Structure 1
Amino acid sequence: METIVWEWVNFMLRWLHVITAIAWIGSSFYFVHLDASLKKRERLPKGTSGEAWQIHGGGFYHMVKYNVAPAEMPDELTWFKWEAYATWISGFFLLVVLYYRGADLFMIDQGVMELSQWQAVAISVVTLVLGWVAYDRLCKSPVGKNDTGLALAGLAMLVLAAWGFSEVFSGRGAMLQVGALIGTMMAANVAMIIIPNQKKVVADLLAGKEPDPALGKEAKQRSLHNNYLTLPVLFLMISNHYPLAFGTGHIPAIVALVLVVGATIRHFFNSRHAGKPTPWWTWGVAVAGVVGIIWLSALGPNADAVASTAHAAEPVDFAQVEEVVISRCSMCHAETPGWEGLATAPKGVRLETPEEITRHAGEIRMQAVFSNAMPPGNITMITPEERRVLAAWTAVAAK
């Protein structure tokens, strides 16, 4: 019963996380679009930077933006913050329930670094905090005064973090940790910079003082960072479902390309919304980046085994295949999984009979041949020779 309860807790947290993320991403995209589409016109109130007329749901909306703040505080003011807070909180609890609770299965690979469960969790939490501190100080340093220089420095920081995580965690754990770090940076931007700066502006207005324009400028910079990081963080968070993304051993390079692809796509839309010349070149960069990611995924850890067995003269004896699968995979992929904490076979894939093994030859090839995604963290210590057996058999059976 306890396993079933935890499974539903995982499901509900994932559901909540998706809902709150939709709300946060939607508001982020909307306000960046709104800010870019503002037009300067006559008879606008003093201190405004532009206006936009919009229509939605059968009604007209007239949006006006003040450069710093209006002369007087309005009676009612809507704060956009809980979307970000709820997304991070639900995401962190999901991280605890799924990854920290199952760190030995999802985060740790003893072939990468020998870690206990508590050590993996401690490293994860500490690096989330240190990552935010490093990013925040980078933004507040002289580098932060130049947006292009800051973007390049931020890219280098995240790629370095990806390399470090790949030297500590399993591929799945490293990819998710990079995503969690970016998500933490984005949520902290809201909680530590954007909202506090807005509160200072409100306090100045209530006190009859002139708000500092630098507060709004800093908040806008962080908001723009969040906008450009949204697509990469989504890729990283769903990557754990796709072994070619995390299980092929090229995590730093893939993370670098994902950051570039996501940023260029957002740049295209932000430029279009602002009425600037359309940067069609961004799609060339994005396509090239995706092609690069696919190419890297093909250079997996078992590429030589795949190449050498693709045209094997002699078929592999199925008894060898069955022995590998039963001894290395079936403890989890069973009607009653033997791994503590698993209520059912992952993704409903059972590998207990010759028929089941043959039926899932394609998945076996993807998870254990093209990548090292399975067994997770090589928990059952499958050998390279055993992967070669699977490579030779699935080359035919998967078809």
Structure 2
Amino acid sequence: MPKFKIGKSEENSEETSEIKVTSQNYIYTGILLAVIGILVNTYIVVQGTPLESHMMEWLNIVIRLMHITFGIAWIGASFYFVFLENALNRTEDVREELAGNLWAVHGGGFYYLEKYKIAPKTIPKHLHWFKYEAYFTWLSGFCLLFVVYYFNASALVIDKNVLDISATQAISIGIGSFVVSWIIYDFMCKSRLIKNQLVFSVIGFLILIGFAWFYCQVFSSRAAYIHFGAMIGSLMVANVFFVIIPAQKAMVHAAKMGLPLDPTLGKNALARSLHNNYFTLPVLFVMVSNHFPSTFGYEYPWLILVIISLGAAGVKHYLNLKEKKQLNVWILPVSILILLAATFISAPSTNPYECKKEVSIVEVQEIIQKRCVQCHSSSPTDEVYKVAPNGVMYDTPEDIVKKKDLIMQRVVITKTMPQNNKTNITDEERNILRCWIEQGASLK
């Protein structure tokens, strides 16, 4: 490796620049934490007052927006740099010290990028680090887990029909599982398994199946899905914090000091970065799945979770190979078939219910009043929901008719409403609602 010296004034200038950048990053982190802290403390102050539900909604909005914004930046960087690594020109007119280069055009301009085998002769004064996108995504996501789920653990995390545990036990199991998953995954990455990609992938996927199944034996199905996503997200950010960034710091330090580089540092960091890249699509699926009860509402929700995770990872593998110009004709269609399988497996039962009589709106409204309006009303009486969730209200017969399709999907087909069957709606009552809707959802 070429050695070089840095003059004292240049060295001091670089140190000052690094301190300045680090200080700015700490300030940004402090601002983020302060915003979240102010919102949380304000919510605590207004608990039990008419402003509680209003503050909870804004707390949810602000943190969710942060999580989405930081997540886009992190996943976008992951997609881009894996593409860059895969698409590098490594053969044509590549200088000896380079691993490859790439020409690109975007936004009305041409770009030329180079990757060094080891390091440039002179380390640039300003070196951009991709790490805070990951840290802020995880931090905002963890806050969101508390705001949406853990603050209302008894209603949203715990399903007594699955496992009757306390809120403290549920939260402890959730957070503890993230730590356990990292210990297992990190051990696998440091073992000889990592040398055989196929064996590593199969064992890793089997372990993910185990976690998906475990979560569904402990939490409500929605909470199980979100914990699975949070677990994978925690693995991803731990890869950045414990492996990728320390390796990059060691490489930069060695390059500045003219010391020999440990090639395994870059190799391990690249492997973890690639793992993160494969994790992205399953995590994105979990983020959107909570809005679609056909996924978590299936009788075996863990099965749908692992099937879609496998199919999504397969699509990502196809894209990665395509960027390398190593096309495999079978990977994409097989991945799509796997994803389609989840659609058919989760399809509702087609066994028709025999409607013996015409159902009136009076009967329907009686069921809705008994089982739904505790939450879905302009004046909810539920201890958790002080404002109607998603603005869905069933105060009048006209309100019920307008939401007949939603009632059919959530109450009758997927049976994901009421939440964890909190109000003990019966199958007979669900079938009465089905008959009314199939008969035309009349106001008579």
Contact 1:132 1:185 in 2 (8 A): yes
Of 404, 417, 421, 1:378 maps to 421
Where does residue 368 of structure 1 map in the other structure? 411
**Aligned equivalents of 2:201, 2:435: Cα separation in 1:** 45
- TM-score, length of structure 2 as denominator length: 0.84
**Aligned equivalents of 2:440, 2:332: Cα separation in 1:** 38
Of 336, 351, 354, 1:307 maps to 351
Of 189, 193, 218, 1:168 maps to 218
Contact 2:290 2:296 in 1 (8 A): yes
| 1:62 and 2:112 correspond | yes
Where does residue 245 of structure 1 map in the other structure? 295
Amino acid in structure 2 at the alignment position of 1:35: E
**Aligned equivalents of 2:352, 2:425: Cα separation in 1:** 19
- Alignment map for 1:7-156 (pairs within 5 Å): 7-41=57-91, 44-156=94-206
- Alignment map for 1:282-297 (pairs within 5 Å): 282-297=331-346
Where does residue 329 of structure 2 map in the other structure? 280
**Structure 1 residue 30: Cα displacement:** 0.6
**Aligned equivalents of 1:56, 1:330: Cα separation in 2:** 53
Q: Which has the higher contact order (CA 8 A, sep 6+)?
A: 1
**Aligned equivalents of 2:185, 2:429: Cα separation in 1:** 43
RMSD of aligned Cα (Å): 1.9
**Aligned equivalents of 2:308, 2:340: Cα separation in 1:** 11
Amino acid in structure 2 at the alignment position of 1:391: R
Q: Structure 1's 66 and 137: CA in aligned 2 closer, same or farther, altered over 3 A? A: same
Q: Deviations over 1:125-175 (max 9, x none)?
A: 111111122111122222122122211112111111111100111111111
Amino acid in structure 2 at the alignment position of 1:5: M
Amino acid in structure 2 at the alignment position of 1:307: N
Q: Structure 1's 376 and 68: CA in aligned 2 closer, same or farther, altered over 3 A? A: farther
Contact 1:367 1:374 in 2 (8 A): yes
| 1:223 and 2:273 correspond | yes
Tell me the SS of whatever aligns to 2:415.
coil
Of 379, 388, 397, 1:345 maps to 388
Unaligned runs of 5+ in 2: 1-50
**Aligned equivalents of 2:419, 2:93: Cα separation in 1:** 64
**Structure 1 residue 58: Cα displacement:** 2.7
Amino acid in structure 1 at the alignment position of 2:331: T
**Aligned equivalents of 1:393, 1:188: Cα separation in 2:** 52
**Structure 1 residue 317: Cα displacement:** 4.6
**Aligned equivalents of 2:329, 2:283: Cα separation in 1:** 23
Contact 1:10 1:97 in 2 (8 A): yes
Amino acid in structure 1 at the alignment position of 2:332: W
After TM superposition, the structure 1 stretch with the greater mean CA deviation from structure 2, 257-266 or 341-350, is: 341-350
**Structure 1 residue 279: Cα displacement:** 2.6
Contact 1:107 1:377 in 2 (8 A): no
Where does residue 264 of structure 1 map in the other structure? 314
**Aligned equivalents of 2:64, 2:426: Cα separation in 1:** 34
| 1:205 and 2:255 correspond | yes
Tell me the SS of whatever aligns to 2:111.
strand
**Aligned equivalents of 2:439, 2:242: Cα separation in 1:** 56
Of 381, 392, 396, 2:435 maps to 392
Of 327, 351, 356, 2:370 maps to 327
Tell me the SS of whatever aligns to 2:100.
strand
**Aligned equivalents of 1:27, 1:317: Cα separation in 2:** 56
Tell me the SS of whatever aligns to 1:102.
helix
Aligned sequence identity (%): 40
Amino acid in structure 1 at the alignment position of 2:414: S
Q: How many residues align?
A: 392
**Aligned equivalents of 1:65, 1:186: Cα separation in 2:** 24
Contact 1:162 1:174 in 2 (8 A): yes
Larger radius of gyration: 2
Amino acid in structure 2 at the alignment position of 1:355: E
**Aligned equivalents of 2:117, 2:110: Cα separation in 1:** 23
**Aligned equivalents of 2:179, 2:420: Cα separation in 1:** 25
Unaligned runs of 5+ in 1: none
